């Protein structure tokens, strides 16, 4: 059987890959428990691609309750070595308005209380991974090059700030994040990226900007609604199938 060429983790508003053909459903169990849902494995442009909905296919899991360890280990167990994380985010700085796609290169973790390492259990060997560059450089480069080949607009770089959720942030929190150097804000970027590093997986983030973060847009009094988020995610994702095809081995 052909290897898994790419594993994709979908965020809010992205619960399946519509272009997957000959889909089989896998229900892996891991040493860390059950992942968010079934892993759908099918063919895209002649290659085997796996997809997992991070929040569950019915969006039933809030960010702090996701079993990030089980999700990544499940993908590793079926043979995935390259993971593209799709993250629905808010935009903080000027380049990152609604419906923008971005491939961030840095990360700040504001989450708390999440199991953030595979070294949690007593007696487990402690791993100290280098995390100065939180996304795999080579895979990031492939994503950026694939977007260019597919003629999909993509912002190269940016700092993702990971917050606890599930509530959205206050204006003061976003102002602090801007001072800290964050360009994007989301709720699921960590501990996923760090766990991928501990597991030796190549990992990159494709951030889909669904809205301006609180106080960041041209209308400081804008109220963010779920429908606006979903509409913007759908619009920003129109080029995603072409980008994924370009990202697969040619």
From first to last of its 250 residues, the chain has per-residue pLDDT tens of: 789 999 999 988 888 888 888 999 999 999 999 999 999 999 998 899 999 999 999 888 999 999 999 999 999 999 999 999 999 999 999 999 999 999 999 999 999 999 999 988 888 888 899 999 999 999 999 999 999 999 999 999 999 999 999 999 999 999 999 999 999 999 999 999 999 999 999 999 999 999 999 999 888 777 878 788 889 989 999 999 999 999 998 7
Could you give the dihedral angle defined by the CA atoms of residues 146, 185, 177 and 218, in that order, rounded to the nearest 10 degrees?
A: 90
Q: Phi and psi (nearest 5°) for 206?
A: -110, 105
d(CA 14, CA 135): 21
SS3 assignment, position 157: coil
> Binding site membership for phosphate: which residues?
12, 54-55, 188
> What is the reported pTM?
0.94
Return binding residues for substrate: 187, 211-213
The owner of tokens 């840095």 is 106
Give the start-to-end residue ranges of the domains of the chain: 4-247
Domain 4-247: CATH superfamily is Nucleoside phosphorylase domain (3.40.50.1580)
Helix, strand, coil shares of the chain, percent, nearest 5, are 25, 25, 50
Annotated binding site: 12, 54-55, 187-188, 211-213
| HSE (side-chain half, CA atoms, 13 Å) at 190 | 21
pLDDT at 226: 79
């Amino acid at each position: 059987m052909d290897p898994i060429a790419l594993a994709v983790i979908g965020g809010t508003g992205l619960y399946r890959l519509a272009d997957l053909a000959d889909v089989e459903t896998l229900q892996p169990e891991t040493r860390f428990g059950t992942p968010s849902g079934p892993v759908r494995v099918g063919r895209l442009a002649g290659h085997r691609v796996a997809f997992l909905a991070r929040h569950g296919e019915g969006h039933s899991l809030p960010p702090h309750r996701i079993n990030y360890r089980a999700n990544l280990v499940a993908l590793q167990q079926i043979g995935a070595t390259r993971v593209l994380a799709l993250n629905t985010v808010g935009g903080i700085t000027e380049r990152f308005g609604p419906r923008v796609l971005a491939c961030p290169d840095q990360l700040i973790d504001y989450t708390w209380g999440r199991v953030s390492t595979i070294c949690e259990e007593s007696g487990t060997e402690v791993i100290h991974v280098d995390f100065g560059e939180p996304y795999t450089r080579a895979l990031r480069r492939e994503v950026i090059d694939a977007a260019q080949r597919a003629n999909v607009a993509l912002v190269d770089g940016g700092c993702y700030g990971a917050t606890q959720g599930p509530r959205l942030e206050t204006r003061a929190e976003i102002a602090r994040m801007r001072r800290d150097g964050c360009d994007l804000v989301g709720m699921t970027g960590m501990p996923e990226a760090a766990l991928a590093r501990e597991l030796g997986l190549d990992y990159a983030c494709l951030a889909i900007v669904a809205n301006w973060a609180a106080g960041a847009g041209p209308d400081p009094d804008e109220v963010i609604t779920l429908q606006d988020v979903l509409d913007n995610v759908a619009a920003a994702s129109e080029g995603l199938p072409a980008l994924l095809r370009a990202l697969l081995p040619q």
